[in-house]
Amino acid sequence: MTLLGVVLAGGESRRFGSDKARALLGGATLADHARATLAPFVAEILLSAGAGIPDRPAPGLGPLGGICGALRHAAANGHAAIVTIGCDTPFVPAETLAALAGAPGAAFVAGTPIVGRWPVGLADALERHLREGGDRSMRRWCAMIGATPLDAAPIANINRPEDLAALSPPDRARGRPPR
């Protein structure tokens, strides 16, 4: 069975001021950079917003809503698990993604839990958790399901326009994260 890559991009981008997924870096959108980063490790890639995957059980549930919808989509299409990164974390190192892709169960990057691997069998538990309300943080969800934290180098997070502007011109052309 294969892995589905998911670029989580359904947030409100309040700190950024506009849709981060469509922000340009070196002539490509952040979502496109994230897709390129995931491509070697998954069979298919979808965006969790817009025409991609709808949030489940309802919109506005943050990354977990996008993950829940992606898990349902993955199960319906024969994938064993999903691998997620954010459109604002498009530069996950290849060795980190390889470790996640090869993990036997649920796993996430310790400092950046939005970057993770989630088996499709978690869909029912996640949907129940979202319906119950309460703490919808990625860290809480990871603890609840006993996901394995992976140690990895810090991953650049592009949350504000100045984070994007901090990339030097050569880095922009190569799509590299800030130093």
Which pLDDT tens digits describe the chain residue by residue (179 residues)? 799 999 988 666 666 656 677 878 788 888 899 999 999 999 999 988 655 666 666 667 788 988 998 999 999 999 999 999 998 889 899 999 999 999 999 999 998 999 999 999 999 999 999 888 878 899 999 999 999 999 988 888 888 788 788 864 444 444 555 54
Distances from the Cα of 98 to the Cα of 26, 38, 40, angstroms: 25, 10, 9
pLDDT for residue 60:
73
d(CA 160, CA 14): 9
pLDDT for residue 24:
80
Q: At what angle do helices 138-145 and 62-76 cross, to 10 degrees?
A: 50
pLDDT for residue 12:
60
pLDDT for residue 122:
97
Q: Which domains, and CATH codes, for the chain?
A: 2-174 (3.90.550.10)
**Beta bridge pairs of residue 5:** 45, 83
**Left (φ > 0), alpha (ψ -120 to 50) or beta: where does 134 sit?**
left
Half-sphere exposure in the Cβ direction for 166 (13 Å, CA): 11
